[in-house]
């Protein structure tokens, strides 16, 4: 289990550069374009008073997400939902359920009131880690939408939970080595692939760990968890800088 060189020269425990640009979709209540290495995801939040039917009259809000790739986000063109291939694929469904769940963990839905936040995550370029980039970028867009509601007096108290930002990062076992933040070429080679979602520095919201090519031991899980947790300061700093720049 020797360390191998990564294509971009990164150490096994280092992140790709992350930056966030806000306001790219000016009509949205909140929007952020996240660049995470070559990966780019455009996140937009829409606020509406129409909560899902089962929630009506319960004085609580909801957050739902839709995730899609533009056809040429990837190396080969993938067909567009509603065209060649009428259905939304299982992978997209799985990811958007994860995004929605993660964001809801960061918001007090009772404080949000009977309001629906719909979060659109559209992948412009996909070089691995799109689900983690989506969660991380979408959190910034959600915070901007909540700021707008506070500024307009629609909300009296910020429903974002105290425990800290919602963020996510991936890790995996590549040629036997635990590695942080896999790019697409590494992801394809990985024996096992983990996505962890955090609320603040240490609290976990979601663990998804899949043995793609082999099973893995509990001690490998422990190592991957440590790698992911170590990425927290860098990811959260990128989020905070974007929020600060957007609300001077």
What is the Cα Rg of the chain in Å? 18
Nearer to its own copies, 83 or 156 (CB): 83
Nearer to its own copies, 69 or 242 (CB): 69
Span of 4-12, 146-154, 216-224, 235-243 interacting with its own copies by CB under 8 A: 216-224
Nearer to its own copies, 18 or 216 (CB): 216
Angle of CA points 67, 73, 74, to nearest 5°:
110
* Three-class DSSP category at 44: strand
Q: Tell the smallest beta-carbon distance from residue 93 to its own copies (Å).
A: 4
Q: Tell the smallest beta-carbon distance from residue 151 to its own copies (Å).
A: 19
Which pair of structure tokens corresponds to residue 213?
Answer: 């090519």
Which of 118, 130, 136, 239 binds its own copies (CB under 8 A)? It is: 118
By the 10 Å C-beta count (0-12 exposed, 13-18 middle, 19+ buried), 135 is classed as buried
Nearer to its own copies, 105 or 238 (CB): 105
101 binds its own copies (CB under 8 A): yes
Q: Tell the smallest beta-carbon distance from residue 181 to its own copies (Å).
A: 19
Which pair of structure tokens corresponds to residue 180?
Answer: 């942080």
Nearer to its own copies, 59 or 94 (CB): 94
Round to whole Å and give the CA distance between 34 and 24.
10
Number of residues that bind its own copies (CB under 8 A): 62
Which of 3, 48, 188, 237 binds its own copies (CB under 8 A)? It is: 48
Which of 208, 232, 240, 241 binds its own copies (CB under 8 A)? It is: 208
Q: How many CA atoms are closer than 13 Å to the CA of 53, on its beta-carbon side?
A: 0
Q: Tell the smallest beta-carbon distance from residue 162 to its own copies (Å).
A: 12
CA-nearest of 112, 134, 176, 169 to 34 is 134
What crossing angle do the helices spanning 90-104 and 130-151 adopt, rounded to 10°?
40
Which of 3, 19, 188, 210 binds its own copies (CB under 8 A)? It is: 210
C-beta of residue 30 within 8 angstroms of C-beta of residue 100: no
Round to whole Å and give the CA distance between 176 and 6.
14
Round to whole Å and give the CA distance between 11 and 20.
23
Which pair of structure tokens corresponds to residue 26?
Answer: 């000016």
User: Site residues for its own copies, window 15-44 (CB under 8 A)?
Assistant: 24-28, 31, 38, 42, 44
Round to whole Å and give the CA distance between 195 and 208.
5
Task: Give the binding site for its own copies (CB under 8 A).
Answer: 24-28, 31, 38, 42, 44, 46, 48, 66, 68, 70-77, 80-83, 86-88, 90-91, 93-94, 96-97, 101, 105, 118, 120, 122, 124-125, 163, 198-199, 202-212, 214-218, 221, 225
């Amino acid at each position: 289990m020797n360390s191998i060189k990564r294509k971009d020269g990164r150490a096994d425990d280092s992140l790709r550069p992350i930056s966030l640009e806000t306001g790219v979709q000016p009509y949205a209540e909140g929007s952020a374009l996240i660049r995470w290495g070559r990966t780019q995801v455009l996140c937009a939040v829409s606020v509406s008073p129409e909560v899902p039917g089962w929630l009506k009259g319960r004085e609580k809000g909801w957050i739902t997400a839709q995730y899609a790739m533009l056809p040429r986000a990837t190396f080969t063109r993938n067909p567009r939902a509603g065209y060649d291939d009428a259905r939304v694929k299982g992978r997209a469904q799985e990811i958007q359920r994860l995004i929605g769940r993660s964001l809801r963990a960061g918001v007090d839905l009772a404080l949000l009131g009977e309001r629906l936040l719909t979060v659109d995550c559209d992948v412009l370029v996909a070089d691995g880690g799109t689900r983690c980039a989506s969660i991380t970028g979408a959190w910034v867009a959600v915070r901007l939408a909540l700021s707008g509601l506070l500024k307009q007096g629609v909300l009296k108290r910020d429903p974002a939970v105290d425990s800290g930002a919602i963020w996510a990062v991936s890790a995996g076992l590549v040629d036997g080595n635990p590695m942080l933040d896999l790019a697409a070429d590494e992801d394809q080679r990985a024996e096992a692939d983990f996505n962890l979602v955090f609320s603040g520095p240490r609290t976990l919201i979601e663990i998804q760990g899949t043995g793609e090519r082999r099973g893995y031991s509990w001690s490998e899980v422990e190592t991957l968890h440590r790698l992911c947790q170590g990425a927290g300061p860098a990811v959260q700093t990128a989020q905070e800088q974007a929020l600060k720049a957007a609300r001077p």
